[in-house]
C-alpha cells in the first residue's frame, strides 16, 4: 500500500510541469509583462520596432530578434530551444508550427469584444504561474494599480473636456479608440472621459475619416505618435481643425507612442504621458 502511494505521489510530481525558464513570445504586450515581472524573454518578435511602438519598459539587453510576428524565423527559434512560447489568438495560425518547437500557451487579451483590463490581469497571473514568478506578477499588478491611482491628481487638468484618443493611419484616416480599448481602461482609472462614444470594433477602435472628429464637440484631441509626416500639416490647413476648435491653445496634445494593443505597462506609460500633457495645457 505504501509502495503504491509512493508511486502515485511520484507520478503526480512528474506530471506537474516545472516553471519555464527559456520563454519566447511573439507579442509585444506579453514581452512588456515578462520584462516588468523581471523575467524577460530570451527572444521576441520585431524588437527592432520596439522603440517605435512601445518604448517602455526598456528592452533587456540580449533578447534575440525573431523577425516579424507574422513570419518569425522558425529555424532560429528552434536553435534557441525554448521551453515555452507565449502567444495570442491573433497569431493562432502559427500555433501548429510553433508547437513543434515548444509548448505554446495562448493568452486571450485583446479583440475579445470586451474590456482588455481583466484579461490583462489574468494573463499576468497566468504568466507568473507558468514561469514560477506568481509573487513577482502580483507585485507588478500592485505597482500598476498604485501608479494609476497616484496619477489621477496629475491628469486632473485634462478632466475639463472629453478626450479623443487618436492614431493617424494616413493624412485623411484615423483610428479613434473607445469602448473595449486599452486606452479606455486607462481613462476610466484616471478619472478622465473618452470623447468617442460611438461603436468600435472588437479591438476597441473605429476606423474613420478625419471629418468624423468634427462631429465630437468640445473635445480635446490626443494624438499618439508615430504620426505620418503630412497628416498634421493637412489637418491644420483644413477646415476641420479650426471649425472644431482643435487649433485653440490646449485643445490638441501630441503624445509619444503608447502601444494600443500592449500590456498593462502601456497604462502606466499612458498615465505618465497624460500627466506631462496636463502640465502643458
Residues 87 and 167 both lie in one domain: no
Total structural domains in the chain?
Answer: 2
Which range of residues forms the domain containing residue 66?
19-107
Q: Cis peptide leading into 57, omega within 30 of 0?
A: yes
Please indicate, yes or no, if residue 251 is contained in any of the structural domains.
Answer: yes
- What is residue 139's three-state secondary structure? helix
What number is the average pLDDT over the span 220-229? 91
pLDDT of residue 228: 84
Domain C-terminal end among 91, 107, 123: 107
CATH number of the domain where residue 82 is located: 3.40.50.1980
For 266, half-sphere exposure in the C-beta direction (CA atoms, 13 angstrom radius) is: 28
In a domain, 130, yes or no: no
CA-nearest of 72, 67, 130, 63 to 101 is 72
Digit-coded pLDDT (tens) for 84-125: 999 999 999 999 999 999 999 999 999 888 999 999 999 999
Q: Between 206 and 280, where is the model more confident? A: 206
DSSP helix/strand/coil, 196: coil
Structural domain contains residue 23: yes
Checking if the pLDDT of 278 tops 60, the result is: yes
| Pair (164, 270) in one structural domain | yes
Residue 213 confidence (pLDDT) = 87
pTM > 0.85: yes
Copy the grid coordinates of residue 166.
Answer: 487618436
Amino acid at each position: 500500500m505504501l509502495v503504491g502511494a509512493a508511486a502515485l505521489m511520484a507520478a503526480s510530481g512528474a506530471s506537474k510541469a516545472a516553471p519555464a525558464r527559456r520563454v519566447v513570445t511573439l507579442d509585444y504586450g506579453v514581452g512588456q509583462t515578462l520584462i516588468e515581472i523581471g523575467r524577460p524573454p530570451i527572444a521576441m518578435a520585431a524588437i527592432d520596432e520596439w522603440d517605435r511602438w512601445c518604448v517602455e519598459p526598456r528592452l533587456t539587453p540580449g533578447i534575440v530578434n525573431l523577425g516579424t510576428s507574422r513570419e518569425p524565423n522558425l529555424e532560429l527559434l528552434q536553435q534557441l530551444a525554448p521551453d515555452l512560447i507565449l502567444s495570442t489568438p491573433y497569431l493562432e495560425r502559427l500555433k501548429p508550427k510553433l508547437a513543434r518547437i515548444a509548448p505554446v500557451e495562448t493568452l486571450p487579451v485583446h479583440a475579445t469584444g470586451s474590456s482588455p483590463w481583466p484579461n490583462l490581469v489574468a494573463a499576468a497571473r497566468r504568466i507568473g504561474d507558468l514561469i514560477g514568478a506568481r509573487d513577482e506578477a502580483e507585485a507588478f499588478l500592485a505597482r500598476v494599480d498604485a501608479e494609476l491611482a497616484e496619477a489621477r491628481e496629475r491628469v486632473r487638468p485634462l478632466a475639463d473636456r472629453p478626450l479623443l484618443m487618436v492614431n493617424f493611419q494616413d493624412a485623411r484616416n484615423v483610428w479613434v479608440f473607445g469602448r473595449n480599448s486599452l486606452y479606455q481602461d486607462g481613462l476610466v482609472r484616471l478619472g478622465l472621459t473618452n470623447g468617442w462614444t460611438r461603436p468600435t470594433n472588437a479591438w476597441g477602435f473605429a476606423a474613420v475619416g478625419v471629418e468624423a472628429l468634427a462631429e465630437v464637440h468640445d473635445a480635446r484631441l490626443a494624438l499618439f505618435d508615430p504620426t505620418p509626416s503630412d497628416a498634421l500639416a493637412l489637418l491644420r490647413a483644413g477646415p476641420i481643425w479650426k471649425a472644431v476648435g482643435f487649433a485653440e491653445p490646449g485643445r490638441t496634445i501630441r503624445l509619444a507612442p503608447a502601444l494600443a494593443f500592449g500590456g498593462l505597462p502601456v497604462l502606466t506609460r499612458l498615465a505618465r504621458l497624460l500627466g506631462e500633457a496636463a502640465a502643458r495645457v
